[in-house]
């Protein structure tokens, strides 16, 4: 591998890492603040992709589809929190896992009923459909760079929201000591509903933004779910900063693993996770 | 206690049925009772549509015979195999032991197929494979009562190599998912390509069913081969085709593949798929009266367009009809049944094909090029291509 080649692969890793971060951010948020293990997180990603496909076909514009889809997703998240998750915050992790595992099946079946089992593609908006030539026969799609940009914006936004705003302060207080925060007048129920809807919104938006490059197909959520959990565990459960570092790390290991050690590519990410857990059993950053 | 009553009535019925059966001579019972056909296919999950297409095709072939097999009425038993290999043996046993089926038609997933294979070998029940291409089923674990009507995993790619070399592409990179089907497809490609005088520059792979191709596409661009050959299917295939084009490789390094790369994903892949050349045993656009007629009748009956899976299901039906006619519906006459099926010539929508000694189709493999979201047939890559059947010893 020569130097330009190395740089391109580095770009690939960062870009993949940022995408993983966008997916894992919602998971780690819900995990860290409400203590809910949400196995259905991948389903929201799939939901986003299918929404992007059907709405962009209906409206003829992916941008409009993403805006409408995001609003729908947040509403859906609020409804789901109010109907189901609200009653599970104080239950054991096993109950939560059973609930969210069941939801995976329900969402898959609903997807099959509403949208069918076909594979679909979403067209990249004309503005972003160009490619930038890197070498004589490799170009880099502008849309991938755009995705990375969105992910960076999201990371910064989340950081500001959680550490600089009043809402963020309440969220942190609620996660640290629920009863104390409540007795100081923080409406924890509302905070939880907001965070949950935000988490669902993040996963759905990730699915919508990724849909033009990922294609839209059944079961696509279950494939990303495992990687999301790896990222969350490496980063430290509940830590958004940890998730970002971990996602970049996983992107790096996965990309270079595939190129340099192809026979072990499937294992390397998990070996990284095992190594991190041996070194720091609570993950890189404690929330 | 409804459930207990139900159990009691059911057992009574079984005892009753068994005793009447005992009173009748063997041949009369065989003629009077219905043929019990077990369909073990995926009806939920990723492969649900494939299961439905196979069943439709199978029923269409039977219905062309007035819905009878060798003059006998048919009773169907359906099991959803969920494409779950861990339930393969259990589900196949349900059909054989509980439902006492005469024949199992199934399935799509190769892992589940290995479960059916074990049960078929243990019990001797007739087993028709309408899709799963796992080599072992008609190689090391072949059996007189197991017949495949689809393909072996290396068959489509076995014919690909010569097509590429004929186009002047003598240095190729191979890329696939690292799992059994991918490895077996590679075996076929390697044999065919090196035999035709091509050389494989590098073999790339990623774990199944990962779809992050970017790192490997970067490597392909750096290796600058004459062409790329691949095996992908389903949603991952659509993504690979789009990523390949988005990386700017489409117009510089031609992409070839096993036909499954472009089955059912052309709408999703869009213009990115244009010009991809694949090899397979069927194409929707095959321009023969037989295929056109089949497609018309299928569309009328099921209000959907048939695909390669429907054809394979249909051929399973045709094969069973041949066998059943030869023994006049007495599927217990196994020696004659197997012999007639082994010697059958199937007049399929894909073209006529016959059975190899290890019970895998000897069939033509077509060259197809994607044009306007269609797999256009542009030639025949290999006439009457057989799987090697290596290691098959019929007991």
The beta strands (E) that lie in B199-350 are given as: 199-207, 227-231, 255-258, 277-280, 345-348
CATH 3.30.60.50 for domain B34-151+288-359: no
Segment holding B5, helix H or strand E: helix B2-23
What confidence tens digit (pLDDT) does each residue in A159-174 have? 999 889 999 999 888 8
Residue spans of alpha helices (H) in chain A: 3-34, 41-59, 62-83, 93-115, 142-164, 166-176, 178-183, 188-214, 220-235, 240-260, 265-279
Antiparallel, parallel or unpaired: β B351-355 and B345-348: antiparallel
Instruction: State the Cα–Cα distance between residues B343 and B341, nearest whole angstrom.
Output: 5
Per-residue pLDDT of chain A (287 residues; tens, 9 = 90+): 788 889 999 999 999 999 899 889 989 888 888 888 899 999 999 999 999 999 999 998 999 999 999 999 999 999 999 999 999 988 899 999 999 999 999 999 899 899 988 888 888 888 888 888 888 888 888 999 999 999 999 889 999 998 899 999 998 888 888 889 899 988 999 999 999 999 999 999 999 998 988 788 888 888 789 999 999 999 998 888 899 999 999 999 999 998 898 888 788 999 999 999 999 999 998 76
* Residue A131 touches partner B, C-beta closer than 8 Å: yes
Question: Could A258 and B246 be called an inter-chain contact, meaning their C-beta atoms sit closer than 8 Å?
Answer: no
Tokens of A225: 């779910």
Residue from the list A121, A131, A223 with its beta carbon closest to the beta carbon of B270: A121
Residue B21 phi/psi, 5-degree rounding, is -60, -40
Over its C-alpha atoms, chain A yields an Rg (Å, rounded) of: 19
Q: How many CB atoms lie within 10 A of CB B204?
A: 23
Residue from the list B209, B215, B270 with its beta carbon closest to the beta carbon of A258: B215
| SS3 state at B333 | coil
Residue from the list A13, A139, A219 with its beta carbon closest to the beta carbon of B46: A219
Residue from the list A137, A213, A259 with its beta carbon closest to the beta carbon of B215: A259
Question: Could B248 and A139 be called an inter-chain contact, meaning their C-beta atoms sit closer than 8 Å?
Answer: yes
* Burial environment of residue B380 by CB neighbours within 10 A (0 to 12, 13 to 18, 19 or more): middle
| % helix, strand, coil for chain B, step of 5 | 45, 20, 30
* Residue A218 touches partner B, C-beta closer than 8 Å: yes
Nearest residue in chain A measured CA to CA from B46: A218
Omega of the bond leading into B226 within 30 degrees of 0 (cis): no
Q: B257 has which bridge partners?
A: B230, B278
Residue from the list B218, B248, B252 with its beta carbon closest to the beta carbon of A9: B218
Strand arrangement of the beta sheet that strand B126-129 belongs to: B74-80, B35-41, B103-105, B126-129, B146-148
Instruction: State the Cα–Cα distance between residues B311 and A180, nearest whole angstrom.
Output: 67
pLDDT at B45: 74
* Residue A226 touches partner B, C-beta closer than 8 Å: no
Outline which parts of chain B fall under CATH 3.40.50.2300: 34-151+288-359, 155-280+368-385
Second-level CATH architecture of B155-280+368-385: 3-Layer(aba) Sandwich (3.40)
Which residues, given as ranges, of chain B have pLDDT below 70?
A: 1-32, 395
Over its C-alpha atoms, chain B yields an Rg (Å, rounded) of: 22
The beta strands (E) that lie in B130-284 are given as: 146-148, 171-178, 199-207, 227-231, 255-258, 277-280
CA distances from B161 to B179, B217, B370 (A): 21, 21, 18
Q: Are B55 and B41 in contact (CB under 8 A)?
A: yes
Q: Are A109 and A178 in contact (CB under 8 A)?
A: no
Best interface-test mutation with A: which of B41, B204, B214, B266 has the largest number of A CBs within 10 A? B214
Question: Could A135 and B222 be called an inter-chain contact, meaning their C-beta atoms sit closer than 8 Å?
Answer: yes
> Global pTM?
0.86
Tokens of A268: 């390397």
Predicted ipTM beyond 0.90: no
Distance in Å, alpha carbon of A138 to nearest chain B alpha carbon: 6
pLDDT at B18: 45
Query: Which residues on A lie below 8 Å from B269 (Cβ)?
Result: 121, 215
Q: Are B128 and B316 in contact (CB under 8 A)?
A: yes
Instruction: State the Cα–Cα distance between residues A236 and A283, nearest whole angstrom.
Output: 4
Domain ranges of chain A: 26-127+141-218, 220-287
Query: Which residues on B lie below 8 Å from A117 (Cβ)?
Result: 46, 48-49
* Residue A132 touches partner B, C-beta closer than 8 Å: no
Omega of the bond leading into A193 within 30 degrees of 0 (cis): no
* Residue A123 touches partner B, C-beta closer than 8 Å: yes
């Amino acid at each position: 591998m020569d130097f330009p080649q190395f740089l391109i692969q580095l770009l690939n890793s960062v870009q993949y890492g940022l995408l993983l971060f966008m997916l894992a951010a919602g998971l780690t948020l819900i995990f860290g603040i409400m203590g809910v293990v949400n196995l259905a997180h991948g389903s929201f990603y799939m939901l986003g992709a299918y929404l992007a496909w059907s709405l962009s076909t209906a409206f003829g514009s992916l941008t409009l589809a993403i805006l409408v889809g995001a609003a729908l997703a947040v509403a859906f998240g609020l409804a789901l929190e109010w109907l189901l998750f609200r009653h599970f915050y104080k239950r054991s992790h096993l109950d939560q896992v059973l609930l969210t595992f069941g939801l995976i099946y329900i969402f898959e079946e609903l997807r099959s009923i509403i949208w069918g089992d076909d594979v679909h593609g979403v067209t990249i908006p004309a503005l972003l459909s160009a490619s930038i030539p890197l070498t004589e026969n490799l170009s880099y799609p502008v849309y991938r760079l755009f995705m990375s940009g969105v992910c960076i914006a999201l990371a910064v936004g989340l950081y500001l929201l959680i550490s600089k705003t009043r809402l963020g302060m309440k969220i942190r207080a609620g996660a640290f000591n629920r009863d104390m925060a409540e007795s100081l007048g923080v409406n924890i129920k509302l905070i939880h509903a907001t965070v949950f809807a935000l988490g669902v919104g993040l996963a759905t938006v990730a699915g919508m933004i990724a849909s033009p490059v990922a294609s839209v197909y059944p079961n696509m959520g279950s494939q990303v779910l495992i990687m999301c959990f790896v990222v969350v565990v490496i980063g430290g459960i509940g830590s958004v900063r940890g998730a970002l570092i971990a996602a970049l790390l996983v992107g790096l290991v996965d990309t270079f693993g595939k190129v340099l050690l192809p026979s072990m590519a499937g294992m390397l990410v998990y070996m990284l996770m095992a190594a991190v857990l041996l070194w720091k059993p609570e993950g890189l950053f404690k929330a | 206690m409804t459930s207990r009553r139900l159990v009691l009535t059911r057992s009574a019925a079984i005892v009753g049925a068994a005793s009447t059966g005992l009173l009748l001579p063997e041949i009369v019972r065989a003629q009077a009772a219905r043929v019990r056909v077990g369909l073990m296919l995926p009806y939920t999950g990723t492969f649900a549509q494939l299961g439905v297409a196979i069943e439709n095709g199978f029923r269409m072939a039977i219905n062309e015979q007035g819905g009878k097999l060798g003059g006998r009425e048919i009773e169907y038993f359906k099991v959803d195999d969920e494409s779950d290999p861990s339930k393969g043996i259990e589900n196949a046993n349900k059909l054989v032991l509980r439902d006492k089926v005469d024949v199992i038609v199934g399935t799509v997933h190769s892992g589940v197929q290995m479960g059916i294979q074990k049960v078929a070998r243990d019990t001797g029940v007739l087993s028709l494979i309408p899709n799963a291409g796992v080599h072992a089923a008609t190689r090391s674990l072949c059996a007189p009562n197991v017949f495949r009507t689809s393909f072996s995993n290396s068959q489509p790619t076995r014919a690909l190599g010569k097509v590429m070399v004929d186009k002047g592409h003598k240095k190729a990179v191979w890329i696939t998912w690292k799992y059994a089907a991918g490895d077996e497809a590679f075996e076929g490609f390697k044999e065919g390509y090196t035999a035709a005088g091509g050389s494989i520059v590098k073999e790339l792979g990623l774990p199944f069913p990962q779809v992050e191709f970017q790192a490997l596409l970067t490597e392909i661009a750096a290796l600058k081969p004459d062409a790329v050959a691949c095996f992908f299917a389903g949603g991952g295939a659509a993504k690979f085709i789009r990523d390949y084009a988005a990386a700017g490789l489409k117009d510089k390094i031609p992409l070839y593949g096993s036909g499954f790369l472009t089955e059912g994903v052309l709408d999703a892949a869009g213009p990115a798929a244009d010009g991809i050349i694949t090899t397979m045993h069927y194409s929707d656009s095959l321009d023969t009266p037989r295929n056109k007629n089949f497609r018309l009748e299928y569309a009328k009956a099921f209000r959907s367009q048939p695909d390669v899976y429907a054809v394979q299901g249909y051929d399973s039906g045709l094969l069973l009809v041949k066998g059943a006619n030869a023994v006049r519906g007495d599927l217990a006459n196994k020696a004659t049944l197997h012999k007639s099926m082994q010697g059958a010539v199937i007049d399929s929508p894909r073209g006529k094909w016959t059975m190899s000694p290890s019970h895998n189709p000897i069939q033509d493999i077509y060259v197809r090029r994607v044009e306007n979201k269609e797999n256009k047939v542009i030639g025949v890559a290999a006439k009457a291509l057989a799987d090697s059947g290596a290691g098959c010893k019929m007991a």
